[in-house]
């Protein structure tokens, strides 16, 4: 019996748990060592490659923190509603003289405080001040926000829009960040065509979907041409992809059928350390490595491909790009009907989230604060792409459960969000 026949006969008698498969993959994904300098707008979401220290203080001048009048605090001593201090408006601050300022204005020389505009009445050529202020009151000193030379961020920090604003404020125009990991996406299958399918042909969608997800997750995707079900062609495509990419992803041909050649090709070139994962839909996934480059073998059915891409490709791309694998955004919902699941298998059930016309729960109509309803789209059909494209997320049934009952409060994962 050949290796192919043995694998086909054996099927998936043992499947690796999702967490164990992810841990095995993480051991083989190395964060990229390449760095590059980019402008601040281009640095959004990227991981810093070097520490950042403030080049200048913020603010770099004494500024008014409120609209009002810049004064010498001593000139307002004892001022009250019954006994206002009398000052005169002027161009410069001096004894009993005040200068009009606005929030953010530079504080004039000689001033050490600002009286807010609500506490001053202008009567002819005089100012009646009804509230005494202390030195420094309503004034932002130099470096109040950030001191000159203050350490701000360490390598590995993922830059957010607020970080970019702070960096611009302290005089940073560009930063060194970890290079985006390069990911080759190789769709496989002799039945796949670009468009206008004939009988027995299928339009290629997995490579398009996965490559766009890779870009969202912080990688740079190379969306390759379809590779037919031919051992030599697959071998050449994978060998070429491994040569100049940090991660390689194939779609299709990952199971144990006669035409599922990709696992054996990868095993021949390197190793396959996981084949068959205890998740649904999409258990015929495999994980391998060639020349120390991780190779992810995703199933050909579209929903199964997406589920496995989120579970394995997402953490691989983020780890390679020095980015944290944050939990997916979730929202609570009440399950409309039962979701069945096989014990020992992690199930990803596609759902549609519904609210009533007033923004509340479509089931009980309790208003804006009511929990929405999660309506299962379908439990099976890993080849039905519309079931995931037209859903609002999925509910994860853990391996320890035999399903979820109608009426349970569940967390709906929005897998298409960026984190």
Tens of pLDDT, residue by residue over 139-157, are 999 999 999 999 999 999 9
Tell me what pLDDT residue 8 has. 43
The answer to whether residue 118 is domain-embedded is yes
Q: Is 250 exposed, middle or buried (0-12, 13-18, 19+ CB in 10 A)?
A: buried
For residues 133 and 113, the answer to whether their CB atoms sit within 8 Å is: yes
With a pLDDT cut of 70, the percent of the chain lying above it is 90
For the stretch 202-257, pLDDT in tens is: 899 999 999 999 999 999 999 999 999 999 999 999 999 999 999 999 999 999 88
For residues 228 and 237, the answer to whether their CB atoms sit within 8 Å is: no
In the structure, what pLDDT confidence band is assigned to residue 135 with cuts at 50, 70 and 90?
Answer: very high
Looking at the structure, do residues 260 and 375 belong to the same domain, yes or no?
no
Looking at the structure, do residues 297 and 390 belong to the same domain, yes or no?
no
Looking at the structure, do residues 74 and 193 belong to the same domain, yes or no?
no
Tell me what pLDDT residue 193 has. 86
- State the Cα–Cα distance between residues 213 and 298, nearest whole angstrom: 14
- Measured between alpha carbons, how far apart are the two ends of the chain, in Å? 47
Tell me what pLDDT residue 3 has. 41
Domain that holds residue 40: 36-55+149-177
Residue with tokens 């005040």: 98
Tell me what pLDDT residue 333 has. 97
Looking at the structure, do residues 121 and 158 belong to the same domain, yes or no?
no
The domain spanning residue 19 has which CATH number? 3.40.980.10
β-strands 174-178, 293-298 pairing = unpaired
Tell me what pLDDT residue 206 has. 94
Tell me what pLDDT residue 381 has. 56
* Range in 34-38, 117-121, 334-338, 363-367 the model is least confident about: 363-367
Looking at the structure, do residues 111 and 217 belong to the same domain, yes or no?
no
Q: Answer whether the bond into residue 56 is a cis peptide, omega within 30°.
A: no
Is 290 or 1 the better-scoring residue by pLDDT? Answer: 290
The answer to whether residue 387 is domain-embedded is yes
The domain spanning residue 380 has which CATH number? 2.40.340.10
**Res. 83: pLDDT tops 80:** yes
78: region left, alpha or beta (phi > 0 left; psi from -120 to 50 alpha): left
Q: What is the mean pLDDT of residues 99-126?
A: 96
Tell me what pLDDT residue 194 has. 86
Strand ranges in 157-205 using DSSP code E only, listed in sequence order = 174-178, 182-187, 192-193, 202-203
* Tally of domains within the chain: 4
For residue 393, the cross-strand partners are: 351
The domain spanning residue 133 has which CATH number? 2.170.190.11
Tell me what pLDDT residue 346 has. 97
Looking at the structure, do residues 183 and 316 belong to the same domain, yes or no?
yes
Tell me what pLDDT residue 164 has. 97
* Range in 5-9, 67-71, 106-110, 191-195 the model is least confident about: 5-9
Looking at the structure, do residues 389 and 405 belong to the same domain, yes or no?
yes
Q: Is 247 exposed, middle or buried (0-12, 13-18, 19+ CB in 10 A)?
A: buried
User: What tokens appear for 310 in the block?
Assistant: 């989120």
The answer to whether residue 419 is domain-embedded is no
Tell me what pLDDT residue 69 has. 97
Looking at the structure, do residues 51 and 173 belong to the same domain, yes or no?
yes
- State the Cα–Cα distance between residues 347 and 411, nearest whole angstrom: 13
The answer to whether residue 213 is domain-embedded is yes
Looking at the structure, do residues 24 and 86 belong to the same domain, yes or no?
no
Neighbours of 199 (CB within 10 A): 4
Looking at the structure, do residues 40 and 30 belong to the same domain, yes or no?
no
With a pLDDT cut of 90, the percent of the chain lying above it is 83
Tell me what pLDDT residue 364 has. 46
Tell me what pLDDT residue 2 has. 42
For residues 46 and 307, the answer to whether their CB atoms sit within 8 Å is: no
The answer to whether residue 396 is domain-embedded is yes
Query: Residue 97: which of 113, 81, 86 has the closest Cα?
Result: 86
**Res. 308: pLDDT tops 90:** yes
Is 379 or 375 the better-scoring residue by pLDDT? Answer: 375
**Which domain-ending residue is among 320, 345, 366?**
320
DSSP 223: E
**Res. 403: pLDDT tops 60:** yes
Looking at the structure, do residues 203 and 311 belong to the same domain, yes or no?
yes
The answer to whether residue 168 is domain-embedded is yes
Is 195 or 298 the better-scoring residue by pLDDT? Answer: 298
**Res. 341: pLDDT tops 50:** yes
Can you say how many angstroms the Cα of residue 98 is from the centroid of all Cα atoms in its chain? 51
The answer to whether residue 418 is domain-embedded is no
Q: What is the mean pLDDT of residues 339-362?
A: 81
Looking at the structure, do residues 161 and 259 belong to the same domain, yes or no?
no
In the structure, what pLDDT confidence band is assigned to residue 181 with cuts at 50, 70 and 90?
Answer: very high
**Which domain-ending residue is among 320, 350, 378?**
320
């Amino acid at each position: 019996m050949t290796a192919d026949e043995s694998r086909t006969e054996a099927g998936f008698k043992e499947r690796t748990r999702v967490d164990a498969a992810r841990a095995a993959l993480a051991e083989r994904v190395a964060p990229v060592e390449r760095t590059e300098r980019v402008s601040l707008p281009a640095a959004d979401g990227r991981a810093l490659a070097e520490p950042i220290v403030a080049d200048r203080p913020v603010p770099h001048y004494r500024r008014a923190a409120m609209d009002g009048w810049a004064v010498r605090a001593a000139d307002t001593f004892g001022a009250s509603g019954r006994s206002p201090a009398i000052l005169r408006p002027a161009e410069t601050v001096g004894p009993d003289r005040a200068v009009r300022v606005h929030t953010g204005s530079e504080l004039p020389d000689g001033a050490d405080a600002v009286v807010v505009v609500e506490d001053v009445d202008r009567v002819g050529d005089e100012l009646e001040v009804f509230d005494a202020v202390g030195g420094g009151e309503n004034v932002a000193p130099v470096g109040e926000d950030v001191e000159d030379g203050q350490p701000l961020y360490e390598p590995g920090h993922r830059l957010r829009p607020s970080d970019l604003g702070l960096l611009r404020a302290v005089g940073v125009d560009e930063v060194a960040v970890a290079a985006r990991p390069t990911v080759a996406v190789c769709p496989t299958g002799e039945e796949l065509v670009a468009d206008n399918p004939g009988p027995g042909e299928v339009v290629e969608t997995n490579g398009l979907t996965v490559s766009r997800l890779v870009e969202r997750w912080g990688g740079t995707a190379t969306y390759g041409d379809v590779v037919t079900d031919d051992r030599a062609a697959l071998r050449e495509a994978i060998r070429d992809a491994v040569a100049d990419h940090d991660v390689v992803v194939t779609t299709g041909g990952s199971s144990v059928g006669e035409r599922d050649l990709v696992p054996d090709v990868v095993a021949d070139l390197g190793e396959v350390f996981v084949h068959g994962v205890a998740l649904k839909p999409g258990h015929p996934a495999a994980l391998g490595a060639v020349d120390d480059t991780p190779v992810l073998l995703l199933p050909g059915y579209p929903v199964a491909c997406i589920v496995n891409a989120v579970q394995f490709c997402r953490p691989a791309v983020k780890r390679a790009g020095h980015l944290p694998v944050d939990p997916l955004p979730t929202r609570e919902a009440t399950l409309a009907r039962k979701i069945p699941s096989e014990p020992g298998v992690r199930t990803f059930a596609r759902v549609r989230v519904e609210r009533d016309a007033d923004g509340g729960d479509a089931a009980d109509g309790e208003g804006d604060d009511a929990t929405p309803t999660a309506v299962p789209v379908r439990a099976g059909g890993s080849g039905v792409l519309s079931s995931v494209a037209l859903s609002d997320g999925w509910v994860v049934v853990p391996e320890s459960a035999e399903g979820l009952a109608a009426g349970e409060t569940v967390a709906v994962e929005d897998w298409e969000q960026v984190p």
